[in-house]
């Protein structure tokens, strides 16, 4: 029985080879795909949106874990999220830094009424304390261990303290959220996040791309 949930991020894939990557992940018995949406506004990069998401869920049975690194402007949160509401989207993460308090409440309502796990992410510079009031209401906290925007960056180790703090808060208060980490996971850093008390490990360049030769062994290590 795996101790940790592994959610590969397909951001680092060569998109001309996406099918081959997804086939390999399926073959390695991966259940969750982490889908990074970027807007060239909250983060300095642009990735993909609802179209590629829909193509994936129409051909595969993965549970989809959406990580929205976006600001939402001139449109309601509900309207913005609607096109992402496709089969097998089980969890959506928004960034505490990107949305207003009102938008976060709208987001929580949207997730509740659509039976989606609501998740909030914090950047490396944001303290856990900032999202304290949301902790009883969410299913997942995503601790960024790189500044969001790109795959293949180096792990920032203040995420380990945050994971420990979130774990302590969860135990003290009987909260039910999972703790997820994203960014810079590799041969060395996965052990650190496992030890710190994470539940879900996102990995991009360590698991996805043509240079990854020993995928199954890597998945087994991350699963613990
Ligand atoms: C970064 C994304 C990550 C990214 C992780 O902003 O949110 O999900 O794909 O890539 P690695 O594991 O290579 O740091
Ligand atoms: Zn991500």
For residue range 85-137, list pLDDT tens digits in order. Answer: 999 999 999 999 999 999 999 999 999 999 999 999 999 999 999 999 999 99
Nearest ligand to the CA of 189 is 1
d(CA 166, CA 60): 33
Q: Please report which confidence band the pLDDT of residue 182 belongs to, taking 50, 70 and 90 as the band edges.
A: very high
Is residue 161 part of the annotated active site? The answer reads no
d(CA 95, CA 150): 15
The pTM (predicted TM-score) of the whole model is: 0.98
- Examine the pLDDT at 75 and tell me if it is beyond 90: yes
d(CA 122, CA 128): 7
Is the distance from the beta carbon of residue 146 to the nearest atom of ligand 1 less than 6 Å? yes
Is the distance from the beta carbon of residue 203 to the nearest atom of ligand 1 less than 6 Å? yes
Residue to mutate, 9, 95, 121, ligand 1, most ligand atoms under 8 Å from C-beta: 9
d(CA 105, CA 27): 38
Which residue in 21, 36, 39, 65 is the catalytic one?
Answer: 36
What pLDDT score does 158 carry? 98
The domains found in the chain, sorted by start residue, are 5-223 (3.20.20.70)
Q: How far is the CA of 182 from the centre of ligand 1 (A)?
A: 6
165 burial (CB, 10 Å; 0-12 / 13-18 / 19+) is middle
Q: How far is the CA of 152 from the centre of ligand 2 (A)?
A: 11
Q: Please report which confidence band the pLDDT of residue 1 belongs to, taking 50, 70 and 90 as the band edges.
A: confident
Helices 158-173 and 189-196 sit at what angle, rounded to 10 degrees? 20
The ligand 1 atom at the shortest distance from the C-alpha of residue 205 is 13
Is the distance from the beta carbon of residue 148 to the nearest atom of ligand 1 less than 6 Å? yes
Q: How far is the CA of 74 from the centre of ligand 2 (A)?
A: 24
DSSP strand E in the chain: where? Answer: 5-8, 32-38, 63-69, 89-95, 117-122, 140-144, 178-182, 200-203
Question: Which tens digit of pLDDT belongs to each residue from 28-55?
Answer: 999 999 999 999 999 999 999 999 999 9
Residue to mutate, 150, 155, 186, ligand 1, most ligand atoms under 8 Å from C-beta: 150
- Region 157-175 average pLDDT: 98
Is the distance from the beta carbon of residue 184 to the nearest atom of ligand 1 less than 6 Å? yes
145 burial (CB, 10 Å; 0-12 / 13-18 / 19+) is buried
Is the distance from the beta carbon of residue 179 to the nearest atom of ligand 1 less than 6 Å? no
Query: Which tokens in the block code for residue 4?
Result: 């940790």
DSSP character at residue 73: -
Report which protein residue has its CA nearest ligand 1's atom 4: 151
Structural contact between residues 179 and 163, judged by C-beta atoms closer than 8 angstroms: yes
Q: Which long-range contacts (CB under 8 A, 24 or more apart) does 107-111 make?
A: 107/77, 107/81, 108/134, 108/137, 108/138, 110/77, 110/78, 110/81
pLDDT more than 70, % of the chain = 100
Is residue 39 part of the annotated active site? The answer reads no
**Mean per-residue pLDDT of the chain:** 98
């Amino acid at each position: 029985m795996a101790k940790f949930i592994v959610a590969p991020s397909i951001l680092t894939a060569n998109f001309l080879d996406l099918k081959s990557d997804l086939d390999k992940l399926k073959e390695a018995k991966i259940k969750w795909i982490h889908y990074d949406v970027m807007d060239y506004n909250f983060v300095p990069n642009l990735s993909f949106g609802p179209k590629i998401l829909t193509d994936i869920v129409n051909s595969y049975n993965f549970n989809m874990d959406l990580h929205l690194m976006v600001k939402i402007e001139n449109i309601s949160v509900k309207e913005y999220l609607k096109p992402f509401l496709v089969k097998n989207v089980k969890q959506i993460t928004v960034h505490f830094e990107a949305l207003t308090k009102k938008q976060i409440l709208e987001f929580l309502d949207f997730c509740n009424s659509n039976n989606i796990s609501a998740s909030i992410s914090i950047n490396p510079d944001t303290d856990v304390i900032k999202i304290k009031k949301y902790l009883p209401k969410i299913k997942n906290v995503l601790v960024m261990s790189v500044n969001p925007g790109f795959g293949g960056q180096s792990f920032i180790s203040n995420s380990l303290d945050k994971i420990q703090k979130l774990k302590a808060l969860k135990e003290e208060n009987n909260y039910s959220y999972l703790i997820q980490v994203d960014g810079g996971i590799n041969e060395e850093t996965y052990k650190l996040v496992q030890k710190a008390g994470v539940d879900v490990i996102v990995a991009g360049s360590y698991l996805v791309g043509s240079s990854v030769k020993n995928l199954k062994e890597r998945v087994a290590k991350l699963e613990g």
